[in-house]
Structure 1
């Protein structure tokens, strides 16, 4: 496919608390665009505060797709995201609307822009249940060590505490005999399906980023994150994805009576800072990303110029 005939898409990524929502809404208003959510937790209904889901007011009338549409019991994966986002990009381009893919889940953005082809997963409920029981007995560290031994390349891309992805990878190996890293390599197309621009927001000064994160967490507390976290905790057996999400699991010790609310809030701040580091690492490995520094740049002006130049090519 000729590069100029490919559908156009602008992605906005980067770590949490850097202003992705505000920038994406401003750019969508300026360029006649709509937003496709690329945050793995903002898909869930009634999980608003802990996921920093943009409010109706923050959306400013800009259509947002793949946002706030699933119940917390429902599973959601990168394969689900790309399968839903790809036709949206085609439709918006056909309507002469510019798609903005926005969020902090780097795997979603990268997989979409590179056109990774996810085959229907070979799953086995019996194997999954066996792995789940093993995880309950042995603990997350042992399961991650098992993944490191079986598929060290993929293990480097997964956080040790992300048991959903760890167990999914172990299940794939057990059922198919293929490592997840090999499956991902085989899924890459010979050329990318889109003409894309990827903007990433961060702070040049890491301390500024951490202060922004701490402020966001404090605002979440004021907005009622404790009530959301308690709801997740009470339904943790069925809200499996949410129960592992940053923003909720940090408060479980409070509901269990083993830590104070203040201790859990500090733990949430630290967990969010650690997550921001992982987001930075992921996006920095995307060589075509254009970085904008919210503590130095006039981000909106620079981003507007970059999108204008991108559309003019």
Structure 2
């Protein structure tokens, strides 16, 4: 029954009963007698109480819907309001849930397009850095060497410093190009790319241990790229913000796919679990492939030490793509 008819029937019933009583055994005298006052007040109180109960029960689903709308977050999909209450309220909640379905589908599609465009742009910039700027600096380095070979002795030291600065710039450009588009991911597979990533962060002051299990189930190119990018972003956050000196990078097969874990011994998440653009980007990448991303702070294994951060991504394997082994049995 709709909320309108519930309230209408209740009020009609109360008025009919009151009219029947007034036309029957109950009368109102002038002046009003104390007993009559008691009957009228009791009847009014009963009618108001029942009205209040009906309204409270009928409007409770709207309150739950309001809380669900306030807590809705498209980065945490799948949460829906429970359909209950009168017809109008149930229809409103059903419409809201359908709207969330559309919004999540549209967000997933737009995120896929944006991330795909981002990867294409990264690929283009990496190629131009490697092919254009890298070759230019290589030519400058060769030219400096030729000049240094013919230069007077008092200028060779300065030319050597210029060579070292150019070589350092060339190495930095190559490192940036690798981070923008890891060629090893395309050439040797996911595990080799993750080993290279761990080694890269280890050389920048963070000790990264890796446990990369072989025998992973078949994964699409998009899934491998998301796993790599999430690991890269998690290690970047660890190096920049956590104050950690140790980190672990693990990949292992699970029942329906693969699990990636990045763990550090830093200061933990604190109140910034969803504040950073990096974490938001990881969540959007996880949504792109239907994976589950969880972030948590955990005590250090030694007990009583600093709190670390776990970044865990669980992705479903693809049955559409055969497994391709990299050299040495690794993907």
Compute the TM-score of the two structures, normalised by the length of structure 2: 0.18
Q: TM-score, normalised by structure 1?
A: 0.18
Structure ranking higher on relative contact order (CA contacts 8 Å, 6+ apart): 1
Higher fraction of helix: 2
Greater Cα radius of gyration, structure 1 or 2: 2
